[in-house]
Amino acid sequence: MKATRSLIAAAFFSALALGAGIQVQATDLTQPGPLSFSDYDQDHNGVITEQELNAVREQRQAAIRATGRPGFGMANAPSFADLDGNGDGQITPEELRAGRKALWGKRGRGRGMGRGMAR
């Protein structure tokens, strides 16, 4: 049953993305961790548009929910403008790396009572 829901959700969002002119890649979107630049750059033109970023994020949320797990907290995800360092409407690989590095630095690693840190 879960596999059927996963396939239906994947087909739906693939059709949605194709209708928007975005090609869906074969990346397993349910895996934890950040996606690669090429996962977002669906048309392989060397930059990520806001449409591509949002489409892949929506596909990933749907794929995760289709497995029965709750989606990620997108309220904490950086916006397109946060990642578009020069404001030209496109994210380059360098801007994505810089945006992720800046976000990682703001998370306060090593502080608080996170996993394995109970005292």
pTM for the full predicted model: 0.66
Q: How confident is the model at residue 113 (pLDDT cuts 50, 70, 90)?
A: low
pLDDT digits over 66-100, tens only? 998 887 677 778 899 999 999 999 999 999 999 98
Q: What is the average pLDDT across 8-29?
A: 54
Domains along the sequence of the chain with CATH: 2-104 (1.10.238)
- Mean pLDDT confidence for 39-63: 95
The residue with tokens 């396939």 is: 7
Helices (H), 1-119: 2-19, 37-40, 50-66, 80-83, 93-106
Name 48's bridge partners. Answer: 91
